[in-house]
Structure 1
Amino acid sequence: MRLHRLEVSAFGPFSGTEVIDFDALSDAGLFLIQGRTGAGKTSILDAVCFALYGQVPGVRNAVKGLRSDHAEPAAGPRVVLETTVRGRRLRISRSPAWERPKLRGSGTTTEHAKVILEEFEHGAWTGLTTRLDEAGDLVSRLLGMTAVQFCQVALLPQGEFAGFLRAGADERRKVLERLFAAEVFTQVEKWLADRRAATGRRAAELGATASSIADRVAETTGAAPPRGDRAAVPAPRRAEPPVEPFADVAALLAWAAELAAGHEDVRAAATTLRAEAAASLEKARTALDHAKDLADRRRRHADAVARRDALRERAEERSRLASRVDAAARADRVLALIRDVRARHDEAVRARRWAEETRSAVAELLPPKAPDDVIAKAERDRRDEAASLEGRRGAATRLEQIGDERAELARELTRLEPEEARLGSLLADLPGLVTARQTELDDARVAAAGLPSAVAAADAVRHRLDAAQRRDRVEQHLAEAEAAHRLRVDAAQAARDHELDLRQARLDGMAAALAAELKDGEPCRVCGSTEHPAPVDSLGEIPTEEQVDEARAALDKAQDDREISARRVESLRTERDGLLETAGEVTADSLVGEVAEAERAVRDLESRAAEVDRLEAALHRHEQDLAHARDERDKVAETLAGNRAEDANRADEQARLSSELDEARGDDPTLEARITRLGREADALGAAAEALRASARAAQELAASRAKAEREATEQGFRTPDEAAEAALPDEDQGDLRDKLRRFDDEEAAVRDLLADPALTSAAAEPAPDLPALETARRAADDAHTRAASAADRARHRCDRLTELRRELTAAVRAWRPAAEAHEVAERLAGLASGKHAANRHAMSLSAYVLAARLEQVVAAANERLSRMSGDRYALVHTTGKSAGDRTKGSGGLGLRVVDAWTGLDRDPVTLSGGESFITSLALALGLADVVTAEAGGAEIGTLFVDEGFGTLDEETLDEVMDVLDGLRDGGRAVGIVSHVAELRARVPAQLRVTKQRTGSTVTIVA
């Protein structure tokens, strides 16, 4: 992947549109991105990552707002990146989500994130997609790496790798898991752990099932189960308590078989005793039943003789009952006619009385002494007149409706006329209020528009005041630091001269000692020559090795002190320069007055701008009131005109209908009253006529009923109907008499049958049996049989239950054996994969083992560059031991140590100095970039960025680091260094300068 062109608008610190030509920078191979702290150097890398993946690196991705705070309110954030990936020229345009001002009204609305992905083909840009997910997927597939991997490979963040270098195994593992695809191995560990737990639970459950069945066998038989050591199946490594079976579950089968054999013998003996008891019981029952039958037949014969004697004594009573029943039966044939005569007599009396009452009630409506047929004619005349008046009822109803409608119209007119006057007065006042509020609102809006600039001016003055105050303090600290640095430079130079003098003196002294041993003609032990033309003479005392080492240690300390003081001076100078750019040479006292004046202006504008919302609401309310009043006035006027016309029409119709109804009602108060009166009189006349007719019919029917009753009484043997009525009996009494006769007959027949039965006759001749003795014998036999049957049933049930439980126990043991074997295998595999089994000698989990292999590759790639940058002194070593700070079991194998070639010992990375940590973490970052690129199978990274950290290096180390970075350009790769170190400006001519201003940052390319 090679970057060509980057365009950023309203993004991060860049308020306007900035264009970066990476092709111009890449021609030099190595270029510098430099600027003051906070100018936006890292934001350029954020823009590249955002264009490719829609997110920015590291913790900055959690910040929601990517839009520049310096940009105009309506300016939308946008990043456009042109790049070549795998030979394809792409242009990616992205905009993050942001809040833009509404086009109408106040407030903001959300603009969602957008993307346009294009490819340059056949001389023109061709659109590929505008979907966020499709664009992200295409870029990830072409680059062959995720956003996290890209940020580690192309944007080398030194601060993160210094932390990675010093981190423990747990933190280092989290970083490696994000970069390398170790999820599948973690899932394998989890699957094996779940499998171990599942098989453990299964084996424990099956063992518990067998134990439960054994407990039921013991409960059934009353025997104690053979308990062994409960350690047959390991408990699953979970929080839940394990359910352990017996130590030797198979032994339960033999134990159950032995119990079953013993209980089969008990069952056979109980069955024999039961059969013997049953035979004795049957014999006792037969003897008792025979005796009971004989005693019953003797009792029945004696009862029959007593009943026969009683019937003979009641023969006369039976004859009287028969005669009374016959007379009542003949009277029943006449009784119905007698009742009919009585009913008709009562009906005739009622009809005659009703006719007399109704005739007198209508006497006023008839002529004096009028015959009965006149009543019917008077009824017909009244009904005809009422029918003719029915047609006028609709007119009366309509007249009432007209009165109600006119009353309603009058009420409406009374309500609307004052409302019309009120609305007219309101419309005269509202236009003036609207104009006044509009003028006040315009003034407040002018004040609100000037408030942001006033606030910005006040903030700028306060910022300059703060910068001026800090500038004065920094200048004082800088003078002190420069003086201290000069002293430490002199001390370091003196220590270097002293160490070199001692080393040279020791070398000279050693040469003199060797020269003293030379003899002419004998070979030299150093060069082997037999000639010694200029041997060295001893010049004085030879320094010892300890003195040389002490001088070297003093030199190292002096150089460290010099580097610390140099970094202190450089830091203060950079801070002083930045503060001078912000505050200038103005004194802090002169800026205090400017701050007070700016704050007073802001407070005045804020008080005036605060009225905008209130005035807008008041203006909107007055405008709505004006429009509403106009609409209401038009509606009221239209309604009043319609109501007045409608009332005039209703008055004309009311006069016409009143005249017609006055003529129809006559002397009655209303038409309805006249119709009601005629109907009432017609009903009374009709009722009188009907009553006269009913009275005549009742008299005729009474005479006919009397004649029929007299004829029927004579035919049934009675002299008069009254005599027949006296002989009659109610049905209940007749039924009682017939029941008594029937019982007499039934009793005689039953007695005859019993006395004729030969079985009863023969039983009466035999002696009476001894029933109590036989009953006692039967109860004894029954008790004995019950005890024997209960014992036999218990034995049978126990044997049947044992057979069933033995089948269940056999199946449970058969199911338990493979489950226990499977759990043993799962336990071992899960322990090996998690690093918690004794067979895993390094105590490394599977995922940690894979990541350790990747870390070995990273260390190998990092050492190639670390050797050059450290002068062959330092090398990284990957260790498999568990560090003291690693709390997670199975997380070993991710340790790092630093081998110092000067001492031959390895060191913890935390003991490295600032510069040493920088070169080591840089080498580690470059090595990780190589491994991640190869692991992901991604595109070759043609443009690489290294972010910060160079300020900790001395001149020699900086030279080595620059040589390594210069070597990264092999194959046409461009390397961008992000730093504000002043020395790099002279070393790297191609630069991208980022300048920060009050209105936002800008970029400039210096080639």
Structure 2
Amino acid sequence: MRLHHLEITAFGPFSGTERIDFDALSDAGLFLIHGQTGAGKTSILDAVCFALYGRVPGARSRNEATALRSDHAPPGTAPRVVLETTIRGRRLRITRSPKWERPKLRGRGTRVEQAKVVVEEFKQGEWEALATRLDEAGDLIGRLLGMTCEQFCQVAMLPQGEFAGFLRAKADDRRKVLERLFAAEIFTQAEQWLADRRRDAHREAADLRAAAVATADRVAEITGSASPRDAARPLVPAPRPGEPGPEPPDDVEALPAWAAELEAHHADLLAVAESLLAEAGEAREAARAAADQGRALHDRQARHAEAVRRRAALRERASWRAALADRLDAAARADRVVPLIREAASRRREADRARALAADARARVGELVPPGAAEDVLVKAEGARREEIAVLDGRRADAERLRRIGEERTALAEELARLEGEEARLADALEALPGVVEELRARLDDARIAAAARPGAEARVKRARDVLAAAEWRDRVAGQLAEAEQEHRAAVDAAQEARDRLQELRQARLDGMAAALARDLVPGEPCRVCGAREHPEPAVSRGHVPGEEDEERAQAAYERARDRREKAAAKIESLRADLDARLEIAGEAPVEALAAELDAAERALAELTGRAADAERLDAELRRREQELDQARTRLEGVRGALADHRARDRERADEQSRLREDLDAARGDDPTLEARIDRLRGEADALAAAVRAAQDADRAAAELASARAAAARAAADAGFAGPDDALAADLDEARRRDLAEQARRHDDELARVQAVLDDPDIAAAAQAPAPDLEALRRAEEAAEAAYTAAASAAANARRRRERLAELRAELAARVADWRPAARRHAVAERMAGLASGKSPDNRDAMSLSAYVLAARLEQVVAAANHRLARMSAGRYALVHTVDKAAGDRSRSGGGLGLRVADAWTGQARDPVTLSGGESFVTSLALALGLADVVTAEAGGTEINTLFVDEGFGSLDEETLDEVMDVLDGLRDGGRAVGIVSHVAELRTRIPAQLRVRKHRRGSTAVVAV
């Protein structure tokens, strides 16, 4: 932040309007604000702070409604502060007025004017309003500066008197200062949050513990044991058979183990019930087995009788089964011969087709070779044609090249025609353009000469407008002045009459009072007024005596008439001053003549404006024409070069075209084209090759036919057939063969099944055994089933109880598991809350979290202060931050905010109160600068380019003053300006740039001297 200008009106000791140019002071880097005690040096800093935040530092902020406005200012003058400053690169103007009391416009008394503010930003040459509400302005400035009012006062305005107190303060007082400057409330909130968290965690753990105990109650209810809520009472056995469960524990952590022990106890009961169930099951299975064996014996005896009957029926069809096997065997032997017979028939058809194809292919090449030519003659004729085709294929590239040359020459002819036309057009343009350019150049020079006179014409028009406006206003003011003078004369007469009337009433009232006193006079008795005993001429009343109300009314009428007279006189003075000002501008010239002069000036300006516009247009046209001329010259050179190149290329292509055409005519021979010759030769070669292949295929088919017939005859003999025809007769189709085979298979399978039943030793033995008593076996099975059902019901009840117990045990374990982290969280919250509040034994310094943070900030301040204190004290003193609580210190911080001063000469650490005045000032200044550095960093590093150091230099010796001034001079690094507020006379010779504040009877004034 950098200050530029400050304007103060009726603020503090300044009764009028004072303007301070901080830019002029800041150019020197270090400047002095000096003046007499009480002149208002600190009030300038108050004005800066008030403009930014609407407040003044320290105790002066109280009773702002009456304390900020100057007591020396006229009653109706509004207090106001206007500050121009740059914050984060934005130029702002802040206009702020405090709340103040002004006289009422009518009647007596005062009226309260509320505080006002306007924040503007300089953008694009104009001031643009940003905020007019107090809260909006405060939020905007706070966001830009990034710090509170207290922090700004500490960073930009170092109040040495306060920091001497801060240096010597107790821990609690020092804590209050640090809490105002640093955002320590978040850590206080953290302490409260931890305390709230401890309470919530305790509530959560208690709720979860109650849920676990409730589940344990249900476990006890299921098992008939005592409830954990009754753990303090002796265990009473439940009214049910069996052993009671274990006694429930007092500790929630032990409840899962108690439930596990109960579950084990009931697991033993379930084992006994399941053992009885197993015995009943064995008896039921034995009865079932006996019944099943009786039914099985009965079934096996029935199956044996059925198998004997079925075997007799199958033996009656044995001859039919033998004939069926012979037919299938002949068909199987024919399977090896029939494929060869069919292959021989296929080969015969293939040999007939190959002979026909060979004859047809020989007929197609009858004109190419002699009749009956051998196969090698056909092969040689084909080879000769293919060799010629290969030679002609090489000529195809020449034919393609000849075609491309023709296309290229056509394109060249078209391009030559276009270039020749463009050459002629460019030549014509080059003849005409130089003259056009010269003409435009001459016209542009004339237009520029005329346009140069436009500023003068504009000034003449502005002057004529101002003079005409002044003349018109002059004439209006002259008329108003005449009316005002007439009103003033009437007001003077009325005021004189009212004054005379008042004096007459007063005299009449005095006369009336004298007459009233005279009526009470008694000869020989002293007068109550003068004490005389003689009364030679007592006053006598001559009419009505006015009262006090009559006199007050006359006095009010006179005052009103006097006010009207004074207002009329002031109006005349204002109008006369306005008329004089207009006469200085317009003189006595008539309005009509001045209007004519303005009209002539405006016409001249309009003409010059038009010519100026022509100059701009002509300048653009000239540049375009000159560019066009240069482009035409360049283009003509390029066109002529392209013409020469294209003509040379056309001649080359013509020569190549003639040579290629002669070569291709010789190659194609009698054929119309090269491709036609290649196609004819390829067709003949393909026909010769086909004839050779067809002859070879016919010979190969005849040989394969003879081989197939011999193979079929041999296979028929090997299979036991007289010939291939017998084998074909024995062949069966697949469907008939499957049908016969299925009939044989069904007969064989049926016979095998019947024999398997008869061969089964169990069935054979059963056939020899006596028949079983099935009814007796059924009754024994039903009795065993009833006994088993009763045992199963008892075991199911025990199992359900144990399963429910297992579910509740799992639920109890889950409840306890949920309770454990809550209990741990409560323990952690308890410990953390104790640590943060400083009440835990683990907090060795018994220091709260907020106090610890402030102690860390104070440690940073001490580190920053010692850099400057070492230099200002020539290395003797250094501040030391201590965490020990002083004796008798009842600070709620629990210590951590102590300060000591280490003396390098004695090697001892001293209490700051033992420092002398000069030593205390140097130490306080270093502490203030260090705190300013830390506050600036805490606020986000906002750059403060203008800062002030307020008083305290009078207590320094010359050598220490030199060291302090060197340190302050070092603050100017980076373009920062430092203002020293002091009345010490020696500083006036050391610092040439000064702001002199003087006090007078009617208020203070401020003058910049650079």
8 A contact 1:287–1:774 mirrored in 2 = no
In the alignment, residue 421 of structure 1 is paired with which amino acid?
Answer: A
Aligned residue number for residue 812 of structure 2: 802
Deviation, structure 1 residue 452: 4.1
In the alignment, residue 45 of structure 1 is paired with which amino acid?
Answer: D
8 A contact 2:276–2:791 mirrored in 1 = no
> How has the CA–CA distance of structure 1 residues 798 and 729 changed in structure 2, closer, same or farther, with 3 Å as cutoff?
farther
> How has the CA–CA distance of structure 1 residues 664 and 940 changed in structure 2, closer, same or farther, with 3 Å as cutoff?
closer
8 A contact 2:395–2:664 mirrored in 1 = yes
Q: Give distance in 2, aligned partners of 1:298 and 1:707.
A: 68
8 A contact 1:196–1:826 mirrored in 2 = yes
Q: Give distance in 1, aligned partners of 2:589 and 2:995.
A: 39
8 A contact 1:386–1:678 mirrored in 2 = yes
> How has the CA–CA distance of structure 1 residues 685 and 276 changed in structure 2, closer, same or farther, with 3 Å as cutoff?
same
Deviation, structure 1 residue 795: 3.3
Indicate which of 188, 193, 196 corresponds to 2:183: 188
Deviation, structure 1 residue 357: 1.7
The 3-state SS of whatever aligns with 1:179 is: helix
Indicate which of 609, 622, 647 corresponds to 1:619: 622
CA deviations on 1:247-294 (whole Å, 9 max, x unpaired) are xxxxxx999999998999799779847963785488457368635576
C-alpha RMSD of the superposition: 6.6
Q: Give distance in 2, aligned partners of 1:599 and 1:473.
A: 27
CA deviations on 1:566-598 (whole Å, 9 max, x unpaired) are 9x9899899959985994683585666665555
> How has the CA–CA distance of structure 1 residues 976 and 407 changed in structure 2, closer, same or farther, with 3 Å as cutoff?
same
Q: Give distance in 2, aligned partners of 1:164 and 1:811.
A: 59
8 A contact 1:481–1:569 mirrored in 2 = no
Indicate which of 391, 407, 411 corresponds to 2:410: 407
The farther-off stretch of 709-718 and 168-177 is 168-177
May I ask how many residue pairs the two structures share in their alignment? Answer: 658
Q: Give distance in 2, aligned partners of 1:970 and 1:467.
A: 55
> How has the CA–CA distance of structure 1 residues 288 and 941 changed in structure 2, closer, same or farther, with 3 Å as cutoff?
same
Aligned residue number for residue 286 of structure 1: 285
Deviation, structure 1 residue 819: 3.7
Aligned residue number for residue 699 of structure 1: 702
Aligned residue number for residue 160 of structure 1: 81
Deviation, structure 1 residue 83: 5.4
Aligned residue number for residue 360 of structure 1: 363
Determine whether 1:930 maps to 2:931.
Answer: no
Determine whether 1:726 maps to 2:741.
Answer: no
Q: Give distance in 1, aligned partners of 2:99 and 2:953.
A: 20
Deviation, structure 1 residue 326: 3.0
Indicate which of 135, 142, 153 corresponds to 1:179: 153
The 3-state SS of whatever aligns with 1:669 is: coil
In the alignment, residue 809 of structure 1 is paired with which amino acid?
Answer: W
Q: Give distance in 1, aligned partners of 2:186 and 2:657.
A: 98
The 3-state SS of whatever aligns with 1:364 is: coil
In the alignment, residue 185 of structure 1 is paired with which amino acid?
Answer: R
Q: Give distance in 2, aligned partners of 1:481 and 1:449.
A: 54
In the alignment, residue 190 of structure 2 is paired with which amino acid?
Answer: R
Q: Give distance in 1, aligned partners of 2:152 and 2:452.
A: 49
Deviation, structure 1 residue 928: 9.3
Aligned residue number for residue 23 of structure 2: 47
Q: What is the 5 A alignment of 1:126-525?
A: 159-160=80-81, 163=97, 176-181=150-155, 185=180, 187-192=182-187, 194-195=189-190, 198-199=193-194, 202=197, 206=201, 210=205, 213=208, 272=269, 276=273, 280=277, 283=280, 286=285, 290=289, 291=291, 295=295, 299=299, 302-303=302-303, 306=306, 309-310=309-310, 313-314=313-314, 316=318, 318-368=321-371, 374-459=377-462, 462=465
8 A contact 1:389–1:675 mirrored in 2 = yes
> How has the CA–CA distance of structure 1 residues 803 and 967 changed in structure 2, closer, same or farther, with 3 Å as cutoff?
closer
Aligned residue number for residue 122 of structure 1: none
Q: Give distance in 1, aligned partners of 2:697 and 2:688.
A: 15
In the alignment, residue 972 of structure 1 is paired with which amino acid?
Answer: R
8 A contact 1:210–1:812 mirrored in 2 = yes
Deviation, structure 1 residue 975: 5.3
Aligned residue number for residue 5 of structure 1: none
Determine whether 1:645 maps to 2:642.
Answer: no
Gaps of 5+ in 1: 1-10, 13-32, 53-80, 87-143, 224-252, 492-537, 542-553, 830-846, 848-926, 943-964, 993-1004
> How has the CA–CA distance of structure 1 residues 648 and 326 changed in structure 2, closer, same or farther, with 3 Å as cutoff?
same
Q: Give distance in 2, aligned partners of 1:975 and 1:301.
A: 140
CA deviations on 1:402-445 (whole Å, 9 max, x unpaired) are 22222222232343333333333344444444444444444454
> How has the CA–CA distance of structure 1 residues 781 and 296 changed in structure 2, closer, same or farther, with 3 Å as cutoff?
farther
The 3-state SS of whatever aligns with 1:160 is: strand
Q: What is the 5 A alignment of 1:11-26?
A: none
Determine whether 1:586 maps to 2:581.
Answer: no
> How has the CA–CA distance of structure 1 residues 184 and 745 changed in structure 2, closer, same or farther, with 3 Å as cutoff?
farther
In the alignment, residue 354 of structure 1 is paired with which amino acid?
Answer: L
Deviation, structure 1 residue 345: 1.6
Deviation, structure 1 residue 701: 2.5
Q: Give distance in 2, aligned partners of 1:968 and 1:578.
A: 51
Deviation, structure 1 residue 669: 0.9
In the alignment, residue 586 of structure 1 is paired with which amino acid?
Answer: G
8 A contact 1:440–1:615 mirrored in 2 = yes
> How has the CA–CA distance of structure 1 residues 736 and 460 changed in structure 2, closer, same or farther, with 3 Å as cutoff?
farther
Deviation, structure 1 residue 310: 4.0
> How has the CA–CA distance of structure 1 residues 991 and 413 changed in structure 2, closer, same or farther, with 3 Å as cutoff?
closer
Aligned residue number for residue 972 of structure 1: 988
CA deviations on 1:768-807 (whole Å, 9 max, x unpaired) are 4659969986899878866764554233112211222123
Q: Give distance in 1, aligned partners of 2:632 and 2:708.
A: 94
8 A contact 1:383–1:682 mirrored in 2 = yes
> How has the CA–CA distance of structure 1 residues 218 and 396 changed in structure 2, closer, same or farther, with 3 Å as cutoff?
farther
Indicate which of 640, 655, 658 corresponds to 1:655: 658
Deviation, structure 1 residue 401: 2.0
CA deviations on 1:324-372 (whole Å, 9 max, x unpaired) are 4433333333334323322322221221121122122222334456566
Q: Give distance in 2, aligned partners of 1:275 and 1:438.
A: 128
Q: Give distance in 2, aligned partners of 1:358 and 1:473.
A: 133
Indicate which of 678, 688, 692 corresponds to 2:691: 688
Q: Give distance in 1, aligned partners of 2:346 and 2:766.
A: 66
Deviation, structure 1 residue 680: 0.8
Gaps of 5+ in 2: 6-13, 33-44, 58-68, 71-78, 83-95, 101-113, 116-133, 143-147, 156-176, 219-249, 500-528, 533-554, 840-856, 858-946, 955-963, 970-980
The 3-state SS of whatever aligns with 2:721 is: coil
CA deviations on 1:583-638 (whole Å, 9 max, x unpaired) are 46835856666655554444443343344554444334333333333333333333
8 A contact 1:465–1:588 mirrored in 2 = no
Q: Give distance in 1, aligned partners of 2:371 and 2:331.
A: 57
Aligned residue number for residue 664 of structure 1: 667
* TM-score in terms of structure 2 length: 0.51
8 A contact 1:376–1:686 mirrored in 2 = yes
* TM-score in terms of structure 1 length: 0.51
